[in-house]
Amino acid sequence: MYTEKVMDHFTNPRNVGEIENPDGVGEVGNAKCGDIMRIYLDVEGDIIKDVKFKTFGCGAAVATSSMVTEMVKGKTLAEAMVISNAAVAEALGGLPPAKMHCSNLAADALHAAIVNYREKQEKKE
Amino acid sequence: MRRVYLDHSATTPVDLEVAALMMTYYTEKYGNPSSVHSFGREAKQALEEARKQVAELIGANPSEVTFTSGGTEADNLAILGTAEAQRKKGKHIITSCIEHHAVLETCEYLEKNGFDLTVIPADEEGILSVEDVRKAIRPDTILISVMHANNEVGSIQPVAEIGKLAKEHGITFHVDAVQSLGKIPIDVNEMNVDLLTVSSHKIYGPKGVGALYIRKGVRVVPLVHGGGQEKKRRSGTENTPGIIGFGKACQLAGQRMAEDAEHHTKLRDKLINGILQSIDHVKVNGPMGDKRLPNNVNVSIRFVEGESLLLSLDMLGISASSGSACTSGSLDPSHVLLAMGLVHEIAHGSLRFTLGRQNTEEEIDYLLVQLPKIVERLRMMSPLYDQVMHAKQAQ
C-alpha cells in the first residue's frame, strides 16, 4: 500500500529529534486523530540551516515528516513556505488516498514553524 | 526472511487434511448435489456429512444448519431474515456496541428502514451486562443479537444468561460465534440460542464458507432466492468443496479443542506477561483469565501509533493487527476499544496478537525480543513521549 520511498523514510527517517533552543517550532494534528507532527527550525539569515522533527502517527505521518525536512534543509524561508502537503506526498511517490487527508500534514507543521519563527523575530524587533 | 503469523482471528491457514479432502471435491467428486445421478449423489452425501460435523460442534441437529458464503452472510440472514419474518410482531432490536460490523451495520441498516435499535454498552473489559439487556427489552422487541466472544479483545459474553432472558420474553436470540467456534465449547441448547453464526476460515477451513444455525421452528425469511437449495433458506448451488472442508475443520476443531486451548493459553499468558515486563506504559485491553479467549492478546502501547507498530513488526516478518484509525479504514480507532472507555490516543496505539496451532514458544520469544526495540524507536520519535523522557532524564 505504501511506495518504496515511503517505507524508506519510515524505516530510516531523516532528521529525527529536537533542536535545543530552536528558532521556530510548529506543531499540527492531535492525539485524537492519531497524528501529531512537530517541526523545529534553526534559521540563519533567511536560510533554514537545520531542521528536525518528532512525529506520533502512522507510516505516512512519519514518512511525510521526514521527507519535508529533507526538502527544506538549506532552502530559504520563502521557498519553504510554498512547499505544499501535496508536493511532499508527490516527492514520496504518492500516498494511499485515505492518507492524503489525515496523515499528510508535514508541510503544515513546517509552515507553522516558520510562522512561529517570524513571530519571534517581530517580538525581538 | 522469517515469518511469524500472529493474526489468526483475521484468518487461519487451511489444515492440510482439510485441503486434501477439498481437492477431491473439486477435481473428482465434482457433482452438483441437486443432481440425481451418481456424481450428484456422492456430492450430496458429503454435503450432509459436513452438515453433521458442523452441527456436532455446536450441539445442534444437522437439519438446523444452513450453509452460507460466510459469517457476514449468516449474520445478515439472521438479522434481516428475523426482522422480515417478525415485522408485524414488533420493530425493536437489541444489540451491543462491541459487535462485529456485520451485525452492527446490518442493525443500523434496519434502523434506517423503520426499525428501533437499542445498542447496549460494554464495561471496561469489553463484557456486556445481562441487566442492561433486561432493561432494554420492550413489548415489541423481536430480536436480541450479541456476540459470543469479541474479535478484538477476546472477551467472552454471558450469552447463556442473555439467552435465558430472551427465552423468558419470547424474543429470538442470535449469537455471532465466529470467534469462539472451536476455541471454547458451544452448545446451542445450553446457551438458549435460536440463531448462531459460524465461519470456516477462522478454524483452519477455507474462506467463503459459513453457516447459520436456525433452531427448529424459528422462521427466517431468505435473502437469496432461486433454486431452493438449503431447504429454500439459501438458494444457489452449494459450495460443496468449501462446505466439506468446513465440516472437516469442525470435526478437527472438536477433537483438538482442549489441546488447542491449553497451547494457546500458555502462549497467550507468556506473551502478555512478557510485554508487561519488557515495556512500560502498556495497558492490557480486555479481561484476564477465563473470560478471555485462549488465543487473544490485545495491548495498548502508549505514545506510539498502531500502524507504525504493525509496519515495523511486518518488516521483521511478524504479522499482527491493530485497532488504530489507520487500520480501521476510518478516522476513528476501533469502536470496541472506544466502547470500553479507552481515549482515542490510547486506542490508536493498540496491538492485537491472535495465536494459532502452529505458533511456538520460540516465536513468542522472538516477538518479545523485537517488540521492545520497535517501541523504543517509535517513542524516541514521538512528541507525546517527550514528557516521560524528560522526567526520566531528570531523575
Question: Which value does ipTM take for this structure?
Answer: 0.94
Burial (CB count within 10 angstroms: exposed 0-12, middle 13-18, buried 19+), residue B138 = middle
Residue contact B381–A11, C-beta within 8 A? no
Residue contact A54–B325, C-beta within 8 A? no
Helix, strand, coil percent content, chain B, rounded in steps of 5:
45, 15, 40
Residue A82: CB atoms within 10 A of its CB come to: 10
Rounded to a whole number of angstroms, the distance from the CA of B13 to the nearest CA of chain A is 23
Q: Which amino acid is at B322?
A: S
Q: Whole-structure pTM over 0.90, yes or no? A: yes
- Residues A121, A14, A1, CA angle at the centre, nearest 5°? 120
Rounded to a whole number of angstroms, the distance from the CA of A52 to the nearest CA of chain B is 10
| Nearest one of A23, A68, A26 to A45, comparing CA atoms | A23
Q: Is residue B350 within a helix (H) or strand (E), and if so which, with residue range?
A: strand B350-354
Residue contact A33–B326, C-beta within 8 A? no
Rounded to a whole number of angstroms, the distance from the CA of A53 to the nearest CA of chain B is 8
**Contact between residue B29 and residue B43 where contact means Cβ atoms under 8 Å apart:** yes
Whether the predicted pLDDT of B356 surpasses 80: yes
Q: Which residues of B touch A98 (CB under 8 A)?
A: 329
How confident is the model over B42-70, as a mean pLDDT?
98
Burial (CB count within 10 angstroms: exposed 0-12, middle 13-18, buried 19+), residue A5 = middle
Rounded to a whole number of angstroms, the distance from the CA of A27 to the nearest CA of chain B is 9
Give first-to-last CA distance, chain A, whole Å. Answer: 49
Whether the predicted pLDDT of B3 surpasses 80: yes
Q: Which residues of A touch B334 (CB under 8 A)?
A: none
Q: Which residues of A are catalytic?
A: 33, 102
At the top level of CATH, the class of B16-253 is alpha beta
Query: For B255-265, what is each residue's pLDDT tens digit?
Result: 999 999 999 99
Query: For B322-353, what is each residue's pLDDT tens digit?
Result: 988 766 566 678 999 999 999 998 999 999 99
How confident is the model over B209-226, as a mean pLDDT?
98
Mutate to test the interface with A, among B301, B342, B348 (most CBs of A within 10 A): B348
Q: Categorize the per-residue pLDDT at B287 as very low, low, confident or very high, splitting at 50, 70 and 90.
A: very high
Rounded to a whole number of angstroms, the distance from the CA of B149 to the nearest CA of chain A is 28
Mutate to test the interface with A, among B326, B382, B386 (most CBs of A within 10 A): B326
One of 1.10.3210.10, 3.90.1010.10, 3.40.50.2300, 3.30.300.30 is the CATH number of A4-120, namely 3.90.1010.10
Query: For B231-245, what is each residue's pLDDT tens digit?
Result: 999 999 999 999 999
Q: Is residue B381 within a helix (H) or strand (E), and if so which, with residue range?
A: helix B361-381
| Model pLDDT, residue B80 | 98
Residue contact A58–B331, C-beta within 8 A? no
How confident is the model over B294-317, as a mean pLDDT?
96
Q: Which residues of A touch B385 (CB under 8 A)?
A: 56
**Contact between residue B250 and residue B206 where contact means Cβ atoms under 8 Å apart:** no
Q: Which residues of B touch A61 (CB under 8 A)?
A: 305, 308
Query: For B51-63, what is each residue's pLDDT tens digit?
Result: 999 999 999 999 9
Residue contact A31–B333, C-beta within 8 A? no
Return the SS3 of A113: helix
Q: Which residues of B touch A38 (CB under 8 A)?
A: 383
What residue ranges of chain B are covered by domains with CATH 3.90.1150.10? 4-10+257-384
The strands making up B195-199's β-sheet, listed across from edge to edge, are B65-68, B210-214, B195-199, B172-176, B141-147, B92-96, B116-120
Residue B151: CB atoms within 10 A of its CB come to: 24
- Measure the CA–CA gap between B377 and B280, rounded to whole angstroms: 14
Q: Categorize the per-residue pLDDT at A30 as very low, low, confident or very high, splitting at 50, 70 and 90.
A: confident
When computed from its CA atoms, the radius of gyration of chain A, rounded to whole angstroms, is 14
Q: Which fold has domain B4-10+257-384?
A: Aspartate Aminotransferase, domain 1 (3.90.1150)
Q: Kindly list the residues of chain B whose beta carbon comes within 8 Å of any beta carbon in chain A.
A: 303-308, 311, 315, 324-326, 329, 331, 333, 344-345, 348, 380-386
User: Which string of DSSP letters, residue by residue, matches B126-146?
Assistant: S-B-HHHHHHH--TTEEEEEE
Residue contact A36–B384, C-beta within 8 A? yes
Residues near A78 by Cβ (< 8 Å), separated by ≥ 6?
Answer: A46
Residue contact A54–B386, C-beta within 8 A? yes
Residue-range domain boundaries for chain A: 4-120
Residue contact B386–A98, C-beta within 8 A? no
Return the SS3 of B121: coil
**Contact between residue A114 and residue A41 where contact means Cβ atoms under 8 Å apart:** yes
Residue where the block lists cell 452492527: B104
The mean pLDDT of chain B is 96
- Measure the CA–CA gap between B317 and B385, rounded to whole angstroms: 26
Helix, strand, coil percent content, chain A, rounded in steps of 5:
45, 25, 30
